[in-house]
Amino acid sequence: MKLLALAIFVAILALTLAITWWAARRTRTASDFYTADGTLGPIQNGFALAGDWMSAAAFLGFSGLAALYGMDGSLYAAGALVAFLAILMLVAEPIRNTGRFTLGDVIAFRMQRPQARLAAVLGTVVVSLAYLVPQMAGGAALIKLLLGVPYAISIVVVGLGMLVYVVFGGMIATTWVQIIKAVMLLSAAAVLVALLLAHFGFDPFSVFAAAEDTYGAKILAPGNYLKHPLDQLSLGLSFAFGTAGLPHVMTRFYTVPDAQTARRSAVWLMFLAGSFFLVTTLIGLGSAVLVGQDAIRAADKGGNLALPLLAQHLGGGPDSIGGQVFLAVVVAVAFATILAVVAALTLSTSGAIAHDLYVNVLRGGHVSEQEQVKVARISTVIVSAFAILFGLLAQGINVAVLVILAISVAASANFPVIVLSLFWQRFNTAGVVTGMVAGLVSAVALALTGPAFMGADALFPVVNPAIASVPIGFLGAILGALLSPRDAVSEAQFDEVVFRANTGLRDDAQAGKSLH
């Protein structure tokens, strides 16, 4: 039976690798590698965005939190559902109209100083690596469950898979893998929920009632995981502002031809991903009832395997062919999900290193298309090595918790700088640097000294640091700009930024020169 499960897993993985091979033949220019040449339509990009957003945190982490902590897990799912409202209303169109390949382009167009790009590279790399680690941990946990291999070997398998996707296929491969895995993920979730509801007479309220009967009324009450009164508010701030600072998500708005398509992509995303997030609580509580919290913790103490274990149970149990087959399908889909997300993260990180650091800072923009793609691929190898290293340290921590901490860093460092660059004329390079450093340092320091890492010995009482680090990031950016001399260049460029952000009109040749 294990051979049958492995065969199903390999078949689904082979499909995604075939897409990578096809994309590699079409990836020739830097625009192909970074943004799929900006040719995606709203439905394509909406599915790809949904694939980016339905990561290991959503597929494994949210359901695991609901299984172990009840309704506190549902708050994570609800936050993910509304996270794109701020993007849709505030930054999707301006970013699409003013950038080219990376978030650093948006900032550097105004500031036109290397220090601004360096700050953008720092923010992109730290946030992307922080987001990469839980994806790696989730993928390794799945491989370990399916094949029984050690966690360390599983991490290396995930890292090598992500390396193949990005190095050979770039954004074209990543996009189509995201689209296909989003369809597979939504289909697998629909089948899983249908089987779960069939077990409870197709009455979703019976799932909640069974959870209450098994674990008491406390499982349906808040405060099992988010114990501090400010935890819920901080979680909301992380989602509301952090998503707009995630480089791998925002880069998706460069893959479409215009701002209207970018907005329509976000709407498609909200419907597609939202439909999945709505059922993660049901899946989590169903896992707690049918599999049991003790069994879930025994498989992975962070609860990351609650959903695959539920699939195995609903298929007939671990010793049945149906259980093994359904487990293999779910694990393969989840693994494809994780590989696609880590590929997108690696692509945005290598893009920042190659395009922002190497091309524009070190070489002053004097680089051929072929050399830029080559440097990006080399950067991908380096990023993958670091991701594997850090992934080894994340064993046993719920991936949703780690992802939200990464989003908190994005909310504290990237979001203030992006917003102020787009909407404040007085903002300058000094503000970019101080805001980025203040947000990064405060978010990382508060996260590492908080309950997620230190447990009962935490120095900072709130799980997600955004409640404190977002104001610190904004304050650092504002004070840095106000306490430094006025920058005539950045202020003169502000009118051009406003014009482009609201109209989408620009001279592409001149834009390319400005971005260099």
Domain ranges of the chain: 2-398
Is it the case that residue 513 has pLDDT exceeding 50?
no
Local confidence band at 190 (pLDDT 50, 70, 90 cut-offs): very high
The alpha-helical segments, DSSP class H, found in 291-320 are: 293-299, 306-314
Is it the case that residue 400 has pLDDT exceeding 70?
no
Is it the case that residue 511 has pLDDT exceeding 50?
no
Both tokens assigned to 392: 């080894």
- Phi and psi dihedrals of 161, rounded to 5? -60, -45
Rounded to whole angstroms, how far apart are CA atoms 475 and 439?
Answer: 9
pLDDT mean over 9-23:
72
Is it the case that residue 148 has pLDDT exceeding 50?
yes
Give the chain's mean pLDDT. Answer: 82
Residues 205-221: tens digit of each pLDDT? 999 999 999 999 999 99
Cα separations in angstroms, 63 against 163, 182, 279, 302: 28, 17, 9, 11
Residues 450-464: tens digit of each pLDDT? 887 787 888 999 988
Both tokens assigned to 220: 């349906």
What local confidence, expressed as pLDDT, does residue 509 receive? Answer: 42
pLDDT mean over 177-198:
88
What local confidence, expressed as pLDDT, does residue 512 receive? Answer: 41
Local confidence band at 476 (pLDDT 50, 70, 90 cut-offs): very high
pLDDT mean over 329-349:
76
Instruction: Name, in order, each residue with C-beta under 8 angstroms of 468's C-beta and a sequence gap of 6 or more.
Output: 442, 446, 460, 462
Is it the case that residue 335 has pLDDT exceeding 60?
yes
- Phi and psi dihedrals of 334, rounded to 5? -65, -40
The identity of residue 22, as a single letter, is W
Rounded to whole angstroms, how far apart are CA atoms 413 and 239?
Answer: 14
Local confidence band at 254 (pLDDT 50, 70, 90 cut-offs): confident
pLDDT mean over 434-442:
94
Instruction: Name, in order, each residue with C-beta under 8 angstroms of 203's C-beta and a sequence gap of 6 or more.
Output: 197
Closest CA to 34 of 354, 508, 371, 383: 354
Local confidence band at 516 (pLDDT 50, 70, 90 cut-offs): very low
Query: Which range scores top for mean pLDDT: 5-19, 28-42, 182-196?
Result: 182-196
Angle, helices 170-199/42-53, rounded to nearest 10 degrees: 70
Q: Give the distance, in angstroms, between the CA of residue 44 and the centroid of all CA atoms in the same chain.
A: 18
Is it the case that residue 150 has pLDDT exceeding 80?
yes
Instruction: Name, in order, each residue with C-beta under 8 angstroms of 123's C-beta and a sequence gap of 6 or more.
Output: 103, 245, 247, 410, 413, 414, 417, 436, 439, 440
Closest CA to 277 of 24, 53, 471: 53
Rounded to whole angstroms, how far apart are CA atoms 348 and 33?
Answer: 11
Local confidence band at 283 (pLDDT 50, 70, 90 cut-offs): very high
Stronger pLDDT, 55 or 26, i.e. the higher one: 55
Is it the case that residue 173 has pLDDT exceeding 80?
no
Rounded to whole angstroms, how far apart are CA atoms 25 and 23?
Answer: 5
Is it the case that residue 366 has pLDDT exceeding 80?
no
Least confident of 136-150, 195-209, 303-317: 136-150
| DSSP-based three-state secondary structure for 324 | helix
User: Does pTM surpass 0.95?
Assistant: no
What local confidence, expressed as pLDDT, does residue 483 receive? Answer: 94
The alpha-helical segments, DSSP class H, found in 54-91 are: 56, 63-69, 71-82, 84-86
- CATH code for the domain defined by 2-398: 1.20.1730.10
Least confident of 36-40, 93-97, 182-186: 36-40
Quick check: 158 and 338 in contact, CB under 8 A?
yes
For 201, which DSSP code?
T
The number of residues making up the chain comes to 516
Instruction: Name, in order, each residue with C-beta under 8 angstroms of 312's C-beta and a sequence gap of 6 or more.
Output: 318, 323, 324, 326, 327
Tally of CB atoms within 10 A around 132: 30
pLDDT mean over 132-156:
80
Quick check: 74 and 66 in contact, CB under 8 A?
yes
Question: Over the range 253-263, which residues count as b (16 or more CB within 10 Å of their CB) and which as e?
Answer: bbbbeebebbb
pLDDT mean over 322-348:
78
Q: Which residue has the tokens 């609800």?
A: 78
